[in-house]
Amino acid sequence: MIRIGEVEVDATIRGINAVFRQIRFAATNALNDTVFEARDTERNLIEGDFIVRREWVLQGIQVPKGAKATRDNLETELVLEAKRDFLAKFEEGGIKRPRGGHSLAVPHDESFRRSQVVPKGKRPKALAFKLHRTSTGKAQFKGEQRTFIIEKSTFERGIFQRIGRGRRSDIRLLYWLTRAALISPDLHMERTAREVAVKSYQRHFNRRFIEALRTARL
């Protein structure tokens, strides 16, 4: 008959307990790996889908301080930082309407470089439009920097600027003026986080668990 001594049994129990501790340790690290992968993935998607004129916009997608998973709290979170909450409207989409005045000024793509912030001096308010009568008696709004508004109909208006002189002069569209603009739900922050979690958590856990076993004190 073969007897298993208490020493051997105790060693086995200690080994099992050590493995369980390493499982929790691996899960903690895997959760943090996953949430930071989701953060970076969402930032990359924003760069691809949006015109990012200020880099600090991307920093709004973040894992808050103190929100990383720990062995005592196997939870973490990815948030849109409050100072960048203007991005939130792109999660669900909707209709954007002017806060004041009667129109939204939507920059025309050909007027400003995609990476450039529209200078304050070129924004509609700075152009100081005033009602003017043309030589034919037609009412028209004219502004600074040789700008003017052309109104095709109640819903079709634009701010234009005359460039150059004489025969070589040209007219450039700066802004479309509209009473409302459709906001597409292009942020996909929640969907992205879920997809990354489903795709990557197990991979991160497997790697972290192997690392944890190598360093475990049995």
Residues 136-164 have pLDDT tens digits of: 878 888 888 888 888 776 667 888 888 88
Name the range with the highest mean pLDDT among 48-52, 105-109, 167-171, 206-210. 206-210
Whether residues 149 and 107 share a domain: the answer is yes
Whether residues 40 and 79 share a domain: the answer is yes
pLDDT per residue over 192-215, tens digit each?
899 999 999 999 999 999 988 887
Tell me which residue range forms the domain holding 168: 94-182
Indicate whether 203 belongs to any domain: yes
Whether residues 98 and 178 share a domain: the answer is yes
Mean confidence (pLDDT) of the chain = 79
Whether residues 177 and 112 share a domain: the answer is yes
Whether residues 123 and 57 share a domain: the answer is no
Is the pTM higher than 0.85? no
Whether residues 172 and 210 share a domain: the answer is no
Whether residues 190 and 167 share a domain: the answer is no
pLDDT band for position 186 (50/70/90)? confident
Indicate whether 112 belongs to any domain: yes
Whether residues 85 and 190 share a domain: the answer is yes
Indicate whether 210 belongs to any domain: yes
Whether residues 82 and 68 share a domain: the answer is yes
pLDDT at residue 113 greater than cutoff 50: no
Whether residues 49 and 108 share a domain: the answer is no
What is the average pLDDT across 165-185? 80
For the chain, how many structural domains are there in total? Answer: 2
pLDDT of residue 208: 94
Indicate whether 1 belongs to any domain: no
Identity of residue 164 = G
118 vs 158 pLDDT, higher one: 158
